[in-house]
Chain A
Amino acid sequence: GEEVAQTPKHLVRGEGQKAKLYCAPIKGHSYVFWYQQVLKNEFKFLISFQNENVFDETGMPKERFSAKCLPNSPCSLEIQATKLEDSAVYFCASSQSGAEAFFGQGTRLTVV
């Protein structure tokens, strides 16, 4: 597709439940980035992929967060045992070269 598609738009989970978010990058783009945006607009980098390989995962809280980008499937970001502080908007972006990155509309996760 011509835009980054993120699903679902909204997700509500009880504390301790699992959350799974999906991202379909723009066709032909080999880089995928995940970001978390909390209330004050700060974008926190989580993880990036080059094709299906993890490029940089320095931002991931590894004990509960995991992500994958498998061939012919949307990329996914999974949070096991969600906590209240995981409430945020999660954005995915894709890029052909690594430089120009195009963002999806985000998934708003609310943990109650």
Chain B
Amino acid sequence: QKEVEQDPGPLSVPEGAIVSLNCTYSNSAFQYFMWYRQYSRKGPELLMYTYSSGNKEDGRFTAQVDKSSKYISLFIRDSQPSDSATYLCAILSGGYNKLIFGAGTRLAVHP
């Protein structure tokens, strides 16, 4: 079993839709959870990070962590064509020695 599972998609939505991206993880000791956005042929860009459980909001983006079910989510409101990218969840390992990535979900927002 992988430590972090993420559905690779692709996910295709119309402009203006609410997008929900999700990951599950296996180790209940994980505390730091990140979401990255990666455009084609570019490096991952850190969107948000959350410590422990709860929600964090930044503009149209909301990150949510549910430690009881080991489930993390990223919601994108009013999605735009410029949001078309691959979204990667990442978790900092317990020893802070590495980030463990999900497979990435490819998102396409069409006008």
Contact = CB atoms under 8 A, between A and B. Distances in A.
B103 interface: yes
Nearest to B32: A99
Contact of A101 (B8, B51, B99, B104): B99
B103 A98 contact: no
Contact of A41 (B8, B32, B96, B98): B8
Q: Which secondary structure dominates where chain A touches chain B?
A: strand
Interface string B77-89: 0000000001010
Contact of B99 (A4, A33, A55, A105): A33
B17 interface: no
Contacts of B54: none
A103 B8 contact: no
Interface residues of A, number: 24
Given A41-B86, A43-B88, A99 B44 contact: no
Interface residues of B, number: 26
A99 B101 contact: no
Interface string A54-98: 011001000000000000000000000000000000010100001
A31 B97 CA distance: 9
Interface in B17-71: 32, 34, 36, 38, 42-46, 49, 51
A18 to B, nearest CB: 24
Nearest to A47: B98
- Residue of A33, A43, A59, A106 with most partner-chain B CB within 10 A: A43
Contact of B100 (A45, A105, A106): A45
Contacts of A105: 42-43
Contacts of B43: 4, 91, 103-106
- Residue of A33, A35, A101 with most partner-chain B CB within 10 A: A101
A101 B34 contact: yes
12 contacts: A35-B99, A43-B101, A48-B97, A48-B98, A56-B95, A59-B98, A99-B34, A99-B49, A99-B92, A103-B36, A103-B44, A104-B43
